[in-house]
Amino acid sequence: MSSKDKVVELLKHANIEVNGARPWDIQVHEERFYDRAISQANLGAGESYINGWWDCQALDQMFDRILQARLDQHIQPLWLLPHAIKGKFVNTQSKRFSKKVAEQHYDAGNDLFQVMLDKNMQYTCGYWEKAENLDKAQEAKLELICKKLLLQKGMKVLELGGGFGGLARYMAAKYGCHVTSYNISKEQVAFGKAWCKNLSVTFMETDYRDAKKLPAGSFDRVVSVGLLEHVGYKNYKEFFEIIAHALKEGGLALVHSIGSNETVCCTDAWIDKYIFPHGHLPSIKQLGEAMEKLMVVEDWHNFGADYDKTLMAWDAQFTKGWPELKDKYDQRFYRMWRYYLLSCAGVFRARQMQLWQLVLTKYGAVSGYRRPVL
């Protein structure tokens, strides 16, 4: 059976047609696409999409159907074995490698993220329970985090992985907290410093692991939003040790992270190459083993379905704002970025990835912990 016949047959199981008329059908412009898709799975399919070899009006719907039909389990190219072996035996999220994702992705350009994100510059999942738009969903996420942490005026908060400074700004401005934020992205730190001027926020342009040099028990609260995906399973134990070290007695920590339904040692090859180098999504098993004897899980909240809505909102704003960006970013970048946003939307819609918020203590909340309601 030819590669073309295999692709056509596989896609039929997901009710996707080649050169069909529905939004989730694919339009093939270059026959070489079939060999790449069969031999290299998503890496080949994604690269051939960037090259313009095929199109799809609704990539999110296409990926949702592919994953709901479990077609990804039918293509396991042998050439990806070295990628998996590297993830198994090499600490690709060590200090030596950790800066690559900042340089390639987070430092891509603040103009890009200002066009795509909400007014609070949140590059993580929004909370859509009562929200009707991206701004409201992201503000609800910020408020949810602060309420879960039971923040009070004057508290000292350690933030591991600060993004553009939106959460630190919110905690300092609305709750009167003193925030110390660790981040290795040069562009994000510069943005955050300017944005949080005159607020009690200190930005440290350094690796989160440097926080273990701080005096023990220095902070009332520790928060980490969107960093754990870049920590790597070989470093999870150290990550939670740093949180435990930083927390005062009776303190609370909150960790917000994408999560995987299964335990793996590496990420998707296309995402690894083009979007998040050396990234890794934790599983429940991996987090449980890393937290054992260190942290008590007071609350584990999954609102992964909300990431679908967040990604679709990002894509809508990115495409709307593309005229402002196209002189700096080329057409290949446009196709790459939309493939990233919409494929991830499809993955979350198919519920193959989750979004977790964990509230943690060192020894357990004395009187118990109840999740606040917005």
Pairing of β 156-160 and β 54-56: unpaired
The answer to whether 158 and 218 have CB atoms below 8 angstroms apart is yes
Task: Reply yes or no on whether 344 is catalytic.
Answer: yes
In whole angstroms, what is the distance from residue 334 CA to residue 327 CA? 11
Distance of CA 309 to the CA centre of its chain: 14
In three-state secondary structure terms, 321 is: helix
In whole angstroms, what is the distance from residue 259 CA to residue 270 CA? 18
The backbone torsions φ and ψ at residue 136, rounded to the nearest 5 degrees and listed phi first, read -70, -40
Indicate if the alpha-carbon torsion angle 333, 335, 339, 345 is positive or negative: positive
Closest CA to 63 of 45, 51, 80: 45
* DSSP of 191-259: HHHHHTTTSSEEEEES-GGGGGGSPTT-EEEEEEES-GGGT-GGGHHHHHHHHHHHEEEEEEEEEEEEE
Indicate if the alpha-carbon torsion angle 201, 204, 205, 206 is positive or negative: negative
Closest CA to 178 of 153, 195, 148, 149: 153
In whole angstroms, what is the distance from residue 31 CA to residue 334 CA? 22
Query: Catalytic one among 56, 265, 266, 344?
Result: 344
The answer to whether 338 and 55 have CB atoms below 8 angstroms apart is no
Cβ-based neighbours of 282, under 8 Å, separated by 6 or more: 228, 229, 233, 236, 257, 259, 260
Catalytic residues: 344
